[in-house]
Amino acid sequence: MFDKVLIANRGEVAVRVIRACRDMGIKTVAVYSTADADALHVQLADEAYCIGGPRLAESYLNDDAVLTCAVKSGAKAIHPGYGFFSEKASFVRDCDKYGLAFVGPSAEVIDSMGDKDAARRTAAAAGVPIVPGCDLLKSPEEATAEAERIGCPVLIKARAGGGGRGIRKVERVEDAAKAFIEARAEGEAVFGDGECYMEKFVAPAHHVEVQIMADKQGHVFSLGERECSVQRRNQKLIEESPAPCLDGHNDIRARMHKAARDLARAVGYEGAGTIEFLYSDDGNFYFMEMNTRLQVEHPVTELVTGLDLVQLQLQVAQGEPLPFTQEEIHLNGHAIECRINAENPDEDFRPCPGKIQALHMPGGPGVRIDSAIYQGYTISPYYDSMIAKLIVHAPTRKEAIQKMRWALSEFIVEGIDTNIDFQLRLIKNKDFEAGTYDNAFLTRWLEAEKKK
């Protein structure tokens, strides 16, 4: 059993990990930047150390500072949360050098699945359906030729991409060369890797992801799926479980879950991970990518399964076998998550840092909030604009939607702009209510809103 864990992250996920550790009797070490001196995760941890200035490279992405802090504090393991070091194989190797357990998969697995082009080939070899496409593109001229062969629309993707970055949609063959140059440049600037590949753009389609949990004894389990089709610029806004697009299609759901487990086994996966699929209304599904970490939207899975994914991560990292079988995993009810961001939707979602003057969070049975904000807290301009996750759980999807409506109506944040009212309008949309939305839903809705 780890007696002390360092959390190499900030904000709501750092608070989430601290609470899981506390329930397991594990002491926690927080790290923070000068901009986060009064952050909630700093206040809740057993120990907290400043590791640098406000910019990410000075602190939360400073490998040496984090590792030095872990060693000096006597921590036995590092939990990366999501983002930052969670999918950085070189950091995992450094943890190994210092005798620190990394709460996540091995560096080799992160390397193999972080390279999205290689991940496609691995999935195909494991018998998992993949989107028609091509291997790494060598030039703008090849991008043009492949776009013509595959047939537009296509997506050009940076192989190291994530979070919606390094992706360009190509509607016309003659635009492929320019899109390739742009995707390559963004991949190089954001991820340090400009290599790109191409996939057929599948539409209409749904973004469905299967939650995986695997232990060091070789057991791999699927813990239900989530639909994440409500996205703006490839960034998720609303997630729910089970996926409404699979209602009445339990055979497809079973095949998708099996494909996810097969892929996880093929790469020797350990810990929490997510296999993401595109699902089309003709009943076909295709592998997109694997996220080798905890997902932002993991609470909806926790609410329908009754499992604590962070505690399971820690148990797996300690070498313990997972305490259930696939047959013992049952989904109960329906859960929905809305991401609450400090931004102004009426001004093209402009980030809105500033001080929270007043705050009221909703509560009651079936309502959960994962957050690190409090009244008087100042939202920094240096970090992600997400300030909270509002999650609800109810016996049926209809009841969950109703619960989310009143929970959003009760959520009050004064002093900064947020997307709470925007989320409320989304939840009230008839297509969302009917569960018939796809991954183009939000784009269509925003265009319709502009015309009003």
- Per the structure block, which two tokens stand in for 77? 């393991």
Q: Could you tell me which of 303, 306, 313 has the C-alpha nearest to residue 104?
A: 313
Q: Could you tell me which of 331, 121, 85 has the C-alpha nearest to residue 221?
A: 331
- The answer to whether 329 and 140 have CB atoms below 8 angstroms apart is no
Bond before 299 cis per omega within 30 degrees: no
Calculate the CA 383 to chain-centre distance: 16
Dihedral sign, Cα of residue 323, residue 329, residue 331, residue 332: negative
Active-site entry in 293, 339, 368, 397: 293
Is 159 a known active-site residue? Answer: no
Active-site residue list = 293
